[in-house]
């Protein structure tokens, strides 16, 4: 019998980022990759299907003094955008959720659609912002359609009464090496380790395919997590601990329990019911913002040493209550 090669988190990140932006049909390919990994190791994996709606940009346009400039659409509806409505995407989109806006992430050198609006919106780089501020004439617009698409969350382990539930999402905006191919790959590695250590029956790993974007108002992110919450509410309530793995592998990874951050990373409808036992494992947030939701969030940003540390920290937290 051919010996199966050991799974490595760095290889998982490479495979996922090679797919590109993991939305719609590409998210389905990411789902297939994850399923195939577990099948290769003879670990059962269950697919829960659901439907979602995502915005699909047809055309995003910014013209400054007659020159077409690079921009990325990050709005839910079509229309013109007043170019004077410039906002930092480092602030919560809740404040501009219904406002046509030009977003800029001042920490990222390229267009970084950190936030989305339920109005026409685009994201541009700091360099383009400087051009826009000195422009004699500029116009911006967005054409987008609302597309119904199938999505999934994948279950590995004890579906009925796990002591620990581990969540990660595999969809992305951009290549998404840090966000969140890293968390997905670390979760895969840890699930396989739990399998070989004989403790997978005590845990449940949930891989979500629709975390980044949906038409849920006003919290457009986290839709797949809320579908799980609705279908497995009792399992969620009865678990001893809930661990969310998001954006690791780019620095020292730590479990945090800050309420504001938890609600951003894991926006359940009834998060207050489980927040005392819920922890987020994450890496260097400042480093993440330099590439967030952009083409720069690539494999180059990942440290193998940091990935190993994330795997060890996660496994140690799981076995605390086994």
Tell me the per-residue pLDDT of 166-177, one tens digit each, with 9 for 90 and over: 999 999 999 999
Read off the pLDDT of each residue in 54-73 and give the average, rounded to a whole number: 97
With bands split at pLDDT 50, 70 and 90, how would you rate the model's confidence at 3? low
Task: Please name which of 23, 67, 25, 55 lies closest in space to residue 143, comparing C-alpha atoms.
Answer: 55
pLDDT tens per residue across span 89-122: 888 777 889 999 999 999 999 999 999 999 999 9
122 contacts 102 by C-beta, under 8 angstroms: yes
CA distance 150 to 67: 38
In the sheet that holds 101-104, the strands lie side by side as 72-73, 121-124, 101-104, 86-88
Contact 309, 281 (CB under 8 A): no
Contact 284, 175 (CB under 8 A): no
- And the tokens for 236? 């969620």
| pLDDT tens string 263-303 | 899 999 999 999 999 999 999 999 999 999 999 999 999 99
221 pLDDT more than 90: yes
- The string of pLDDT tens digits covering residues 30-47 is 999 999 999 999 999 999
- Residue 192 structure tokens: 């396989």
Q: What is the pTM of this model?
A: 0.95
């Amino acid at each position: 019998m051919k010996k199966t090669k050991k799974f490595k988190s760095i290889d998982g990140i490479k495979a996922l980022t090679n797919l590109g932006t993991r939305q719609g049909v590409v998210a389905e390919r990411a789902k297939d990759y994850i399923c195939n990994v577990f099948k290769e190791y003879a670990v059962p994996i269950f697919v829960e299907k659901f439907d979602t709606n995502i915005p699909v940009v047809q055309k995003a346009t910014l013209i400054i003094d007659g020159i077409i400039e690079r921009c990325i659409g990050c709005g839910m509806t079509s229309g013109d955008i007043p170019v004077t409505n410039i906002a930092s995407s480092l602030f919560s989109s809740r404040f501009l959720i219904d406002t046509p806006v030009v977003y800029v992430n001042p920490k990222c050198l390229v267009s970084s659609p950190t936030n989305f609006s339920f109005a026409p919106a685009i994201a541009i780089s700091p360099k383009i912002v400087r051009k826009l501020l000195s422009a004699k004439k500029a116009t911006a617009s967005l054409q987008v359609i609302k597309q119904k698409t199938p999505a999934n969350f994948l279950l590995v382990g004890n579906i009925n009464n796990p002591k620990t539930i581990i969540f990660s999402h595999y969809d992305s905006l951009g290549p998404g090496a840090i966000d969140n191919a890293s968390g997905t790959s670390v979760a895969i590695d840890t699930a396989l380790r739990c399998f070989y250590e004989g403790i997978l029956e005590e845990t449940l790993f949930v891989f979500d395919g629709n975390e980044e974007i949906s038409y849920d108002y006003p919290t457009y992110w986290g839709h797949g997590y809320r579908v799980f919450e609705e279908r497995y509410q009792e399992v969620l309530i009865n678990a001893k601990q809930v661990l969310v793995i998001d954006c690791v592998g780019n620095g020292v990874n730590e479990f945090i329990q800050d309420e504001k951050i938890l609600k951003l990373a894991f926006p359940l409808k009834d998060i207050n019911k489980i927040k005392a036992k819920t922890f987020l494992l994450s890496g260097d947030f400042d480093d993440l913002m330099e590439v967030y939701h952009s083409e720069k969030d690539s494999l180059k940003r990942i440290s193998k040493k940091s990935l190993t540390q994330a795997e060890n920290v996660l496994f140690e937290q799981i076995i605390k209550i086994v």
